[in-house]
Amino acid sequence: AQSVTQLGSHVSVSEGALVLLRCNYSSSVPPYLFWYVQYPNQGLQLLLKYTTGATLVKGINGFEAEFKKSETSFHLTKPSAHMSDAAEYFCAVSENSGYALNFGKGTSLLVTP
Amino acid sequence: GAVVSQHPSRVICKSGTSVKIECRSLDFQATTMFWYRQFPKQSLMLMATSNEGSKATYEQGVEKDKFLINHASLTLSTLTVTSAHPEDSSFYICSVEERGQQYFGPGTRLTVT
């Protein structure tokens, strides 16, 4: 069975500050890991994903995440927050590409001026 | 990547009636589609995997007789909520798998009064 845990249901940062959203996973097989963003009443947009290879993954909108097997983590970061980054962020895991995703509970990011 | 649409985007129905939600893959022939449900301020939960030309695979705890899924063509899957109740009010999102990545529709907001 696979699962993800997102630490912190709400994160607030100032505009221009570092964004750090935490995700830890549990998987009995090498995981495929994803970060999605969801704006109000919209579907999900993929920010980035890790399948194999390089553990530091760069995504859209300046986000990146690092897969750390020893820590079973896949934290999402962005050096400088923009107001437009305010949204709900979901970490997800699957056991293979094309398989259904198991989502974390989400982290709501608030960006203050 | 695949472009996915859902119709309707919002629907309000009375308790006891049935509602059909369509998920279309606009530019890709999808043999597999996924249906998720998202309650307010919660994560997405997989309901079922829709396979073209065969019966859907439902997750544990999801009533297959209540949530009827039909994947009759490579571009269309439908979810019918039968005898809807207020507790079925939720955000329903479908996704299409293409080359190991899921692409999500914009979602359908169902409100049962």
Instruction: Quick: pLDDT tens for B66-80.
Output: 999 998 889 999 999
The tokens for A16 are 């221009």
A1: contact with B, CB 8 A cutoff:
no
Chain A residues lying within 8 Å of B101, measured CB to CB: 46, 49, 97-98
For position B15, what pLDDT does the model report?
Answer: 97
- Average pLDDT of A36-53? 88
- CA distances for A112 relative to A61, A80, B11, B18, angstroms: 18, 12, 34, 43
For position A65, what pLDDT does the model report?
Answer: 98
For position A48, what pLDDT does the model report?
Answer: 94
Please state, in angstroms and rounded to a whole number, the distance separating the CA atoms of residues A86 and A89: 9
Say whether A41 and B109 touch across the interface (CB within 8 A).
yes
Residue A84 pLDDT more than 90? yes
Whether residue B40 is preceded by a cis peptide bond, meaning omega within 30 degrees of 0, is no
Q: How confident is the model at residue B25 (pLDDT cuts 50, 70, 90)?
A: very high
Report percent pLDDT > 90 for chain B: 71
C-alpha distance from B81 to closest chain A C-alpha (Å)? 20
For position B42, what pLDDT does the model report?
Answer: 82
Which SS3 state, helix, strand or coil, does residue B12 take?
strand
Residue B81 pLDDT more than 90? yes
Which of A73-82, A84-93, A103-112, B43-52 bottoms out in mean pLDDT, i.e. has the lowest? B43-52
Residue B14 pLDDT more than 90? yes
- Which of A50, A101, A102, A107 should be substituted to probe chain B, the one whose Cβ sees the most B Cβ atoms within 10 Å? A101
- CA distances for A35 relative to A13, A74, A93, B58, B106, angstroms: 19, 9, 9, 24, 17
Nearest CA in chain A to B110: A41
Are the beta carbons of A55 and A68 closer than 8 angstroms?
Answer: yes
C-alpha distance from B94 to closest chain A C-alpha (Å)? 9
For position A103, what pLDDT does the model report?
Answer: 93
Report percent pLDDT > 70 for chain A: 99
**Residue B9 CA to its chain's centroid (Å):** 12
A60: contact with B, CB 8 A cutoff:
no
Say whether B45 and A106 touch across the interface (CB within 8 A).
no
C-alpha distance from B18 to closest chain A C-alpha (Å)? 22
Average pLDDT over chain A, rounded to whole?
Answer: 93
DSSP state of B88: G
Chain A residues lying within 8 Å of B43, measured CB to CB: 90, 103-106
For position A71, what pLDDT does the model report?
Answer: 95
- CA distances for B96 relative to A6, A69, A77, B6, B51, angstroms: 25, 28, 27, 12, 11
C-alpha distance from B44 to closest chain A C-alpha (Å)? 6
Say whether A44 and B109 touch across the interface (CB within 8 A).
no
Instruction: Choose among A43, A102, A105: nearest Cβ to B93.
Output: A43
Q: How confident is the model at residue B105 (pLDDT cuts 50, 70, 90)?
A: very high
For position B41, what pLDDT does the model report?
Answer: 76
Instruction: Choose among A41, A42, A105: nearest Cβ to B42.
Output: A105
For position A40, what pLDDT does the model report?
Answer: 81
For position A13, what pLDDT does the model report?
Answer: 97
Average pLDDT over chain B, rounded to whole?
Answer: 92
